[in-house]
Structures are given as C-alpha cells and as structure tokens.
C-alpha cells in the first residue's frame, strides 16, 4: 500500500488509494474521487442525498424534472429509488441501530455546519465503533450457531 498523500487523507472516510465501487448495490456507486465519496446514481455526479428533499416533498416527477438525466442517462427509476429506500431501512436489530446511529451522527454534524465531520470527533468514533462491534458480535454468534 502506498503512503497517504497528506494528513487530510488520513482524516477522511475515503479509501487510500481512492477506489470506485460499483458492485455493492445495483445502479449506485461510491467513488472516493467523485462528489466527496458520496453514494451516487450510477457513475454520475448526482449524489442520492441531493434528490431526497425533492423526492419527499414534491415526488418523483419533480426529481425527473430537475434531474432529467436520472432516468434517461442512468436508468434510475422511481421503483429503483423506492426499493433502495426500503432495503436501506429494512435491516433489523443491531444493524438497524447502526443505520440510525450513522444517520444521527450525520444529522448532528450537519446541524453544526458539518465541521468537523462526525468521524473526526472522538466521542462519535467511540459510539460508532461500539455499534460496529455489536454488529460483528451478532455475525459471530450466528456463525458459531451454524
């Protein structure tokens, strides 16, 4: 592994070296060098979070009106978005708690102007690490029972 380019890289959530990941969820991508490493629709520069407010407040038609390329260029549909949100919120138990904790960390960081991000705050890292360990414990318990 090559050395990180600077201290900033060490303090971000991006992979070193940067990578593009397209095989975690159909139609979505994370690229460490595009849109700050956000989840994007396909390999575009359109982060999923950018359309959420419009989607909830005004519906899918308003999303397509504002970002017409979402369907035409990237093939991401209302059904795709609905399924993604369903599957994103479907995890139960410790995994559901992890999602809620991550959302809360992001919410708090945004309410403070996002500076510093939650993962640069020691108390936030501790909470997330503890919850990740609980998730690993669940997987270990299930594996041991099989």
CATH of the domain at 73: 1.10.10
For the record, the structure tokens of 6 come out as 């600077």
For residue 144, the tally of other CB atoms under 10 A from its CB is: 7
Whether 60 is in a domain gets the answer: yes
Over 80: is that where the pLDDT of 137 sits?
yes
Show the tokens assigned to 143. 């594996």
Q: Are residues 83 and 99 in the same domain?
A: no
Verify that 47 and 80 share a domain, yes or no: yes
How would you classify the pairing of strands 39-41 and 28-31? antiparallel
Q: What is the pTM of this model?
A: 0.87
Q: Which domain holds residue 43?
A: 20-89
Rounded to a whole number of angstroms, the CA Rg of the chain reads 17
Q: How many CB atoms lie within 10 A of CB 95?
A: 15
- Convert the pLDDT of each residue in 32-43 to its tens digit: 999 999 999 999
pLDDT at 17: 93
72 and 100 assigned to the same domain: no
**Residue 11: per-residue pLDDT:** 73
C-alpha span between 143 and 44 (Å, rounded): 38
pLDDT in tens, 53-90: 999 999 999 999 999 999 999 999 999 999 999 999 99
* Residue 138, domain member (yes or no): yes
- Pairwise CA distance, residues 92 & 115, whole Å: 31
Measured from the Cβ of residue 40, the count of other Cβ atoms closer than 10 Å reads: 24
CB 68 within 8 A of CB 43: no
**CA triple 75-37-88, angle to 5 deg:** 60
Whether 131 maps to a domain, the answer reads yes
The count of domains in the chain is: 2
């Amino acid at each position: 592994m090559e050395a990180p380019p600077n201290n900033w890289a060490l303090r971000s959530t991006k992979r070193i070296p940067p990578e593009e990941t397209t095989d975690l969820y159909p139609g979505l991508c994370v690229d460490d060098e595009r849109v700050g490493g956000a989840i994007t629709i396909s390999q575009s520069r359109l982060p999923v979070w950018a359309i959420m407010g419009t989607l909830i407040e005004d519906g899918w038609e308003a999303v397509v009106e504002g970002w017409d390329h979402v369907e035409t260029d990237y093939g991401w549909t209302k059904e795709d978005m609905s399924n993604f949100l369903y599957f994103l919120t479907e995890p139960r138990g410790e995994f559901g708690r992890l999602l809620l904790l991550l959302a809360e960390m992001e919410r708090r960081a945004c309410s403070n102007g996002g500076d510093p991000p939650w993962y640069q705050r020691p108390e936030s890292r501790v909470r997330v690490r503890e919850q990740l360990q609980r998730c690993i414990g669940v997987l270990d318990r299930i594996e041991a029972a099989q």
